[in-house]
Structure 1
Amino acid sequence: PIGRPEKFWLGALKPYKDKKVEELIQDSVRTYYQSFVTFNNTTDIAAVLENCEIDLTEVRKFYPVLDEMIQRRHKIVHHADREHRHQIIRDLDEAGNRGHHVAKSLSVKKVEQWVRYTERFVTKILDLMSDGEYGRQFNSSQQQL
């Protein structure tokens, strides 16, 4: 089970009366994942995919690049993306500020690789979840462009 059970009055469902139950569930799951689920590594991603009964053998090839991307994000968020060889300069600068940090460079080529892998990974997941229908629709729409 994902999330926690929540009690509510049936009247609280009135704003959703025109939605199908399937849409309501999808919206609820989407909101939950956007609000509460974070991925610290591909092990976390794999756990969610297994819970959705996705065959991991088809997506494991993406894990090394996804892990690299997640680790870089972690470094940016929690360590200001500092290079280890450039520690904080303890002397005050001319304005009296302390702590000049040097961020690690990130090439456009690397970002483009991450975007490609992320798009391929998500496309593969959507295709697996739709028993191949997403791939057929996606390929059909690409041919029309």
Structure 2
Amino acid sequence: MQILNFIMALVECPECKKQVSNTAKVCPACGYKLNTEMVKKRNKVIKRSILFALIMAVVVGLPIYISYEKERQEEARISWERYLEEIGKPQSYLEVHYVLNGTDRCWEPIDFVALRIRVTSDELNNVPFKESKTYINWTDYARRKK
């Protein structure tokens, strides 16, 4: 209730215990002459307490926030590096093999309209490749596979 009183700038009259403005010289309810020094001192203590609490919140919260941000930046950096590594890797035979033999059913000629295997470097799993190959359909792929 004290915080609410400070925000509203109200104090309690020592005589009748009613809420009175902290700038009033006398209580409007009972006419008691308010001690302005007492009111100022009380307001000063409350202001200092709030200021101390804010400073402590900053002192404690700032390092926590900085640590959290550094952790997020590190995670983003690691994620970015992994992404760049994946982009730089050539396509592997296993990926192509999975595309061709990834299910238990038989492949029909209609299954592939076009299949392009592109090699992004001179070697793929330590096997040299000279060019990309484009297979027009499954039948062409099967013929070239033999």
Q: What TM-score, normalized to structure 2?
A: 0.24
Higher strand share: 2
Relative contact order, higher structure (CA 8 A, sep 6+): 1
Higher helix share: 1
Q: What TM-score, normalized to structure 1?
A: 0.24
Query: Which has the higher Rg, Structure 1 or Structure 2?
Result: 2
